[in-house]
Each structure stands twice: as C-alpha cells, then as structure tokens.
C-alpha cells in the first residue's frame, strides 16, 4: 500500500497497525447470515432539468402509464426519434456527488437538528456514509463480478464518510470506444421509458418529444446496513446472486472504509481500488486529481447554522 501526499508528521497508512492493507472479496468469506438492513425511507428528492441543472423539487417526476391492453401488444417504435430527437447527457462531465451535495446543503439544518426526518437527533449525518446508490450496487456485486473493476474515492468531512466513484482507465476506454449499435440500444431503453411515463397522474405518454437523458428525478433515501447509517440517492437493479454474500461484503467494505479513512479532511482522499480476482486495496492522496468535495460545499457546511426563531412565551 502506498501513502502519497500526506501532511508532514502524519503517520502513513502502512505504519498504522490497526489498519488492514486490503479487503478480500472471495464470496465464500461472506456467506454467513444476512446482516441487519433497514429498508430505505425517503428523506426528500431533487430534479435535474434539460441542461442538467439542479432543482430541489419534484419537477422531473414522471408517472407510470400502462399501455392499452390488446392481443397484439403495445405498438412501440423504440427507434423513433433516433438520432434526431435525442439529447444524451455529456458523459465526459464527471459530476461526482455534486447534485446530492446540493440537496444535503439545502437540508443541513433538518439533517443535523433533533427529531427532523426521525434521524434520532443531532449528529446523525456525522456518523453516516453518503454516496450514490449505484456506487453501493458496485460494492454489492463485487464478490461475483468477473469483468469490470472499480475505484471509489473516500473522504471524511465533519465525521461523515463520502464515497465517490472514479472512472477507471478501462471504463473510460470502453466508453470512448462504444460502438454505434450500443448507443442506439441505450437510446431504445430511454425511449421505452418515454412510452411508459406521463407528466401527470392519469395522463398519457407523449412519445413525440425529445429524449433528453439530462433530465432526472432522484429520491434521497436513508437506511442502515449493520452499524452503518446510509444516505444515498439513485436507482439500481441487480439480481441472481446470494443476497447474504452481497450485503455482508458491502457491510465489510463500509467497516474497512470507516476504519481506513480516519483523518477528517476533505482534501485528503483514500482511493479504494479493485480488479476481478483480487482484493480491495487502498492508497492515500491529497487534492487533485482525486479530491471530490467542492469548495462551495465545504465552505457552506463549515458555517454555523443560523439560530432558529425564538418562540414567544405567553408573557411576551
């Protein structure tokens, strides 16, 4: 394990006896009982518009509208509009956790205050892991994944552990060399959603419009896996493996990460890396290129919360 960019006087990771240098991923090691898992509950939501701009509301929410039943089945043309009415998201823009951080910043007082969202009082956020659900999905499937590795950057700030995916060189090469037929297949998936969703409850889908993959509606959820409170946003859809193995490994990784990321410093990044067939390893870095918590978020969260308005007493 390498230790890079540490402050003068900091003890490198390899010198800390309580830290393990790696985390094994063999499924047989995680086949025990299913760990405690609290079903996710929604804390809030946010939307991204056609320009990928953040809005702290549900404007991008769409509603399921089943197609008319007939013996012939739905008459969907999933190629309709490609490529003329297609605006794909710019995948070269690495958004990291920024949109979720906007939501956290807006709701900081509720997350840190007593009783709000039933988060068991002040300080709940300080003990939580914040990430996208898709990142958790990569962890869940790691014991069974045989083709694609991953990298997760981790930083601790005000006690909270933040996890943000880093695009691996292999993933970048695959994205840049994506053949045209795969791009069209991706479009067809979004087109199917357009056929199945309406802008309002009870409404009818309008498949004549543009397919714009910048638009997104995101729920913000809280949960707990083992001893680890989780706050995450996004969607995942995986199946076919032993769920106990997946959840036990994810819990083990969170423990490994919390025990490794011990310094509370948003500029210090611990990069967890994994390739199929090997263990999860970690290296330590400072600032670019792996630091991912933006200055605007760090500055805003470092400010004291305004005092709540005084409630007049009966004598006032």
Please provide residue 283's backbone torsions phi and psi, each rounded to the nearest 5 degrees: -135, 160
Beta pairing partners, 54? 48
Crossing angle of the two packed helices 98-106 and 295-302, in degrees rounded to 10: 20
- Taking the chain (316 residues) in consecutive chunks of 10 residues, what is each chunk's mean pLDDT? 41 44 96 96 96 96 88 88 97 96 93 49 80 97 97 97 98 96 97 96 95 96 97 69 95 97 97 97 96 97 71 43
Backbone angles phi, psi at 247, to 5 degrees: -70, -35
pLDDT value for 121: 39
Q: Which of 268, 40, 272 is nearest to 133 (CA)?
A: 40
pTM of the model: 0.87
pLDDT attached to residue 112: 66
Residue 231's contacts (CB-CB under 8 Å, 6 or more residues apart) are 43, 104, 125, 128, 129, 130, 220, 221, 222
CB distance 195 to 70 below 8 Å? no
Give the N- to C-terminal CA distance of the chain in Å, as an integer: 64
């Amino acid at each position: 394990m390498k230790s890079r960019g540490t402050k003068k006087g900091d003890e490198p990771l390899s010198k800390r006896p309580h830290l393990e240098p790696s985390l094994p991923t063999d499924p047989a090691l995680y086949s025990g009982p299913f760990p405690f898992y609290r079903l996710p509950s929604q804390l809030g939501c946010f939307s991204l518009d056609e320009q990928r701009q953040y809005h702290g509301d549900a404007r991008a929410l769409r509603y399921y509208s089943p197609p008319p039943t007939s013996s012939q089945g739905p008459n969907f043309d999933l190629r309709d509009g490609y490529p003329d009415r297609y605006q794909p998201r710019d995948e070269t823009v690495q958004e990291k956790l920024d949109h979720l951080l906007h939501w956290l910043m807006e709701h900081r007082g509720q997350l840190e205050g007593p009783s709000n969202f039933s988060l068991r009082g002040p300080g709940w956020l300080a003990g939580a892991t914040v990430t996208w659900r898709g990142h958790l999905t990569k962890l869940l499937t790691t014991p069974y994944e045989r083709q694609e590795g991953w990298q997760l950057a981790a930083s601790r700030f005000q006690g909270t552990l933040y996890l943000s995916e880093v695009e691996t060189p292999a993933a970048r090469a695959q994205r840049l060399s994506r053949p045209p037929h795969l791009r069209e297949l991706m479009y067809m998936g979004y087109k199917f959603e357009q056929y199945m969703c309406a802008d309002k409850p009870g409404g009818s889908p309008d498949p004549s419009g543009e397919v714009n993959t910048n638009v997104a509606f995101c729920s913000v959820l809280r949960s707990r896996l083992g001893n680890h409170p989780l706050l995450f946003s996004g969607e995942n859809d995986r199946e076919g493996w032993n769920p106990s193995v997946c959840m036990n490994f994810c819990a083990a990784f969170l423990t490994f990460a919390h025990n490794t990321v011990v310094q509370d410093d948003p500029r210090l990044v611990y990069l967890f890396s994994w390739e199929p067939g090997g263990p999860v390893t970690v290296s330590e870095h400072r600032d670019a290129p792996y630091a991912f918590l933006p200055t605007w978020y760090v500055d805003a969260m470092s400010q004291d919360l305004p005092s709540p308005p005084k409630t007049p007493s009966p004598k006032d």
